[in-house]
A and B are shown apart, each in its own frame.
Chain A
Amino acid sequence: DAKTTQPPSMDCAEGRAANLPCNHSTISGNEYVYWYRQIHSQGPQYIIHGLKNNETNEMASLIITEDRKSSTLILPHATLRDTAVYYCIVRVRTGSYQLTFGKGTKLSVIP
């Protein structure tokens, strides 16, 4: 799987949009971008994934640059419950690959 780089921590005011960046400059053409998060003392939670088009679901939006070397996860209206560690993962959909989390970004939503 391609290596990803995320900032170690970010703050966001409650009610504002949280924009979490991820660099994956070595991504290959068949690798997807996945985002998970882990709230303290809970299991990881799937958020969203995409290949090259921007994606949106009820939780978030994923913006992937045209060259696919970076992406941004957007939480449109952050709440205190969005405080968590967010993981950006790049992986193919074939073979037997473990879901490997890096260090992620610790997002703190501030009242």
Chain B
Amino acid sequence: DAGVIQSPRHEVTEMGQEVTLRCKPISGHDYLFWYRQTMMRGLELLIYFNNNVPIDDSGMPEDRFSAKMPNASFSTLKIQPSEPRDSAVYFCASSLRGINYEQYFGPGTRLTVT
């Protein structure tokens, strides 16, 4: 298995621009998670899906952030408009059995907003 795939690996954009991050979970995993990691705040769960349905989006910082999972093999995290404080590494993870079971992370997207 190729593991969790994320794209792009690096993204540099200007403040106010729209940013779309992409994730392909491990085949057969019913749970997909989006995390954000910064030095200041550590690893934060933004949102997670079960069977393509958003279950808990309480970690989404504000309305500028949105996430979709149109099918079992693809999810997007969109930031519109982006701000410098959104600069972070964004990880996608998937799990076979749920949020409280082992999660497998992708390599992350390093986002820099200038």
Contact = CB atoms under 8 A, between A and B. Distances in A.
Q: Do A and B make up one complex?
A: yes
Interface residues of B, number: 23
Interface stretch (B11-19, B77-85, B98-106): B98-106
Contacts of B43: 44, 99-101
A68 interface: no
A91 B100 contact: yes
A49 B99 contact: no
A43 B56 contact: no
Contacts of B35: 99
Contact of A43 (B59, B102, B108): B108
Contacts of B59: 98
Nearest to A49: B102
B104 A97 contact: no
B32 interface: no
A43 B101 contact: no
A96 B91 contact: no
Contacts of B103: 44, 46, 99
Contacts of A43: 4, 91, 93, 105-108
B46 to A, nearest CB: 10
A96 B55 contact: yes
Given A44-B43, A44-B91, A97 B100 contact: yes
Given A43-B91, A44-B91, A94 B105 contact: no
Interface string A78-105: 0000000000000111111111110000
A80 to B, nearest CB: 19
Which 10 residue pairs are nearest across A and B when measured between Cβ atoms? A43-B105, A93-B100, A98-B45, A46-B102, A44-B105, A43-B91, A101-B43, A43-B108, A96-B56, A43-B106
